[in-house]
Amino acid sequence: MGLRSYIATRVLLTIPMVMLLLTFVFLIVRVLPGDPVLLHFEKAASPETIELMRQRLGLDKPLLNQYFEYLAGLMHGDLGKSMQDFSPVGQQIFSAFPATLELAIYSMIIAVGLGIFLGVRSSQSYNSLQDHSIRIFGIVMYAIPIFFLGMIFQMIFGVFLHWLPTGGRIYPGMAPQGLNIGDLHISTGLYTIDSLLEGNVFKFVQALRYLFLPSLTLGLVLCGVFIRLTRSNMLETLRLDFVTAARARGLKEKTVLYGYAFRNAFLPVLTMMGLQFAVLLGGAILTESTFSWPGLGRYLVDRINFRDYTAIQGDVVFFGILIALVSLVVDVLYAYLDPRIRL
Amino acid sequence: METERGLRTRILPELKSLTGRGLAGWMVIIGFGIVISIVTMTLISPWISPYDPSALNVGPLRSPPNGEFPLGTNHLGQDMLSRVLCGGSIMIQVAVLSVLFCLTIGVPIGLLSSYVGGSLDKIFSLIMDSIYAFPGLVLAITISAMLGRGVVNMALSIAVVYIPSYFRIIRSHVLTIKELPYTVAARAIGAKGRTILLQYILPNVVPSIVSVATVNFADAILTAAGLTFVGLGITKDIPDWGWDLTDGRILLPSGAWWVITFPGLMIVLLALGFTLIGEGLNELLNPKLEQ
């Protein structure tokens, strides 16, 4: 199978999965015991108000009609209306998305970087004290609730040492504008990139300072998986003949480890990055709430507190589509890098 | 019966020689030690707590750890030691229930679907893969928000997230075992499908189920804490580590570290106990990795 037909098959497989997910979320909100409108008002509203709310949100129509309207809306990027002020949920989600994306990118860099480094170190000294301590470190990190780790960091680096800010993305009113040349306006919504486009190093440093604790928290919790994966793959690769040959030729241990062995152990790490993206988004919800990071996760928690079920549905649908797309991209990338997959 | 025999022949000898198995053996022993101590502590907490954990103003507000209140007090003047001693009960209940749900729903579906095969298997696999690909916490939050508060509801929403893990591991085993000579032979001498599933296949899948279940325990505890943190916890009337952590957030700026540190450490310990058991068992029961 050529790369092109592999991509086509993979895209076709994604469609039923996304449809299933959309249907699942639709049903959770409507069919599970607990009427969203009643729950929203916590039963403290007159029947007229409740009926009016149902009409405005289209929840009074037959289920099948609702379902098709919901799907048709999604085609146009319409994620429904908020129960609180009937504002379009899609707009709020799109404006919150860059914050989550930025947090996700930096956390992933920390998780993968630290995971690979510790994993290689661990495999290098198999069954030694170093190996055991690195493994235990990974296990302990896995067992820490993200928000607890976040609060500990806030307490140490924010409250006691005053080194780093404990919440938000940047000082109020300091958000970088991106590149502005005449009519041309380029802005990514990622503060670290926008501040550089603006040419403002101070803002860049500030953006990094605000990013540091949240992404370290999320990255640390995720790095365990990468440690374990790198370690087991390296242990396998290090036993192969070409590694022995490289060593016999007198190459430096570092070159052998990273230049030879690790290059062969990298593909599974790449796949894991795709798989971990879903875990990362889940973790982002808790990290964002802990650090008042204005992204999708905090939006979700915020909406839960307002019992805004239509907004919750929109947010969850967005998460679902995002993950389906990421796993599609990872699979295609994987097939490109390793032609065996396409066979 | 067969399941029991499977357990006896495959797991018990492993457990007996735990201490001689290096790091993995010790992880299982320490993990069990932690879990058993915490469960015991929670069970006997009504008799050993110095104060009523829910009583307000038993001491000064926000008092740091001292002789009278070894773990300090929170902003309501509640004794943190008493709250830490009994705060695990909800989390443990939720975790146990969710694992039971997973076992009673996930295991039969996994066995049946992969044994029968065909379109039934395809449909179940698609559903399970879709759930598996989705961020567990987001799903648990959505279901939990719709079902409302309650131990059973919380356990159910966590179970939905983890059933696919059981399904996948069981399926991968059954697909292999189904084709092994002894299963084929059993079918050839006319054994019924049920007999083959329960007596030939299940006992061989049990070790994997056990290691998934221990990881499931750890995840359930962390997810339960997460659900509480986003405001979907059971009720504030019952002392709970998750609530104490969530409430402790507002005290962070004042530097009251003791309010979050002790409940948080208890969650870490409990989750760590299960993770250690899971990791250790995984290595002992699937010795491939070690060789």
Summarize pLDDT for B231-279 with one digit per residue, the tens.
888 888 888 898 988 888 888 888 888 888 999 999 999 999 999 998 8
Question: Count of CB contacts below 8 A, A vs B?
Answer: 147
Residues of A in contact with B135 (CB under 8 A): 278-279, 281-282, 285, 319, 323
Beta bridge partners of residue B79, listed in sequence order: B73
Q: Does residue B221 contact residue B95 with C-beta atoms inside 8 Å? A: yes
**Residue B135 in contact with partner chain A when CB distance is under 8 A:** yes
CA distance A312 to A127: 47
**Which range among A205-214, A313-322, B39-48 shows the weakest confidence by mean pLDDT?**
A313-322
Nearest CA in chain B to A297: B138
More confident residue, B163 or A84: B163
pLDDT in tens, B77-87: 888 888 889 88
Interface membership of B122 toward A (CB under 8 Å) = no
Provide the CA B266 distance to its chain's centre, in angstroms: 15
Closest CA to A219 of A270, A283, A266: A283
* Band (B291; pLDDT cuts 50, 70, 90): very low
Question: Which positions in chain A touch B142 (Cβ < 8 Å)?
Answer: 25, 28-29, 312-313, 316
| Residue B6 to residues A115, B11, B177, Cα–Cα distance (Å) | 37, 8, 15
Q: Distance (Å, rounded) from C-alpha A128 to C-alpha A203?
A: 45
Most confident of A1-10, A22-31, A174-183, B24-33: B24-33
Query: For residue A81, what are the β-bridge partners?
Result: A88
CB A319 within 8 A of CB B138: yes
Per-residue confidence (pLDDT) for residue B7, from 0 to 100: 53
Nearest residue of A to residue B225 by CA position? A145
Structure tokens given for B33: 């030690």
Structure tokens at B152: 């059973």
Please tell me the distance from the alpha carbon of residue B85 to that of residue B90, in angstroms, as a whole number: 12
Chain A nearest CA to B256, separation (Å): 9
Proportion of chain B above pLDDT 70, given as a percent: 91
- Is residue A265 within 8 A of residue A230, CB to CB? The reply is yes
Q: How many residues does chain B have?
A: 291
**pLDDT higher for A267 or B8?**
A267
Over residues A47-102, the pLDDT tens digits come to 787 787 777 777 777 878 888 888 888 888 788 888 777 888 888 888 899 999 99
pLDDT value of position B204: 86
CA angle A52–A53–A58, rounded 5-degree value:
100
Distance CA A40, CA A298 (A): 19
Per-window interface: B 171-230 vs A, CB < 8 A:
218, 222, 225-226, 229-230
Predicted local confidence at residue B50, as pLDDT: 85
Mean pLDDT throughout A289-293? 91
Can you give the pLDDT at residue B5?
54
Is the confidence at residue B165, as pLDDT, over 50? yes
pLDDT of residue A220: 94
**Predicted confidence (pLDDT) at residue B41 exceeds the cutoff of 90:** yes
Which of A62-66, A172-176, A243-247, B156-160 is most confident?
A: B156-160
What's the token pair of residue A308?
């805004």
- Rounded to an integer, the average pLDDT of B115-120 is 88
Asked if pLDDT for residue B1 goes beyond 60, the answer is no
- Write the residue in B27, B148, B272 that is nearest to A34 by C-beta: B148
A92 with A79: CB under 8 angstroms?
Answer: no
Per-residue pLDDT at A117 exceeds 70:
yes
Query: Rg (Cα) of chain A, in Å, rounded?
Result: 24
pLDDT reported for residue A183: 77
The band of B102, judged by pLDDT with boundaries at 50, 70 and 90, is: very high
Please answer yes or no on whether B138 and A135 come within 8 Å at the CB atom.
no
Q: Which of A126, A135, A148 to mutate against chain B (most B CBs within 10 Å)? A: A148
Which residues in chain B (235-254) have CB-CB distances under 8 A to chain A?
Answer: 245, 248-249, 252-253
The two three-digit tokens of residue A63, written as one number: 């289920």
Q: In the structure, what pLDDT confidence band is assigned to residue A32 with cuts at 50, 70 and 90?
A: low
The whole-number pLDDT of residue A19 equals: 84
Using a CB-CB cut-off of 8 Å, the residues of chain B touching A312 are: 142, 145
Whole-prediction pTM value? 0.86
**ipTM of the complex, rounded to two decimals:** 0.86
Asked whether the CA dihedral B223, A112, B134, A38 is positive or negative, the reply is: positive
Backbone angles phi, psi at A177, to 5 degrees: -95, -15
Confidence of residue B12 (pLDDT cuts 50, 70, 90): low
Q: Which amino acid is at A240?
A: L
Comparing A113-127, A147-161, A259-273, B15-29, the range with the smallest average pLDDT is B15-29
pLDDT of B117 above 50: yes
Cα distance between residue A285 and residue A293, in whole Å: 9
B110 CB-contact burial (10 Å; exposed 0-12 / middle 13-18 / buried 19+): buried
Is pLDDT larger for residue A38 or for residue A28? A28
Tell me what percent of the residues of chain A surpass a pLDDT of 90. Answer: 17
Query: Per residue in B154-186, is it b (16+ CB within 10 Å) or e — as a string?
Result: bbbbbbbbbbbbbbbbbbebbeebbeeeebeeb
The pLDDT value given to residue B231? 84
Chain centre to alpha carbon of residue A220: 14
For an interface test with A, which of B27, B230, B249 has the most A Cβ atoms less than 10 Å from its Cβ? B230
**C-beta pairs of B182-186 under 8 Å, 24+ apart in sequence:** none
Answer yes or no: do B145 and A135 touch at CB < 8 A.
no
pLDDT of residue B43: 93
**Which residue in the set A36, A140, A160 is minimally distant from B255, CB to CB?**
A160
**Residue with token string 């990421």:** A326
**Closest partner CB to B135 (pick from A142, A144, A323):** A323
Nearest chain A residue to B266, by CA: A144
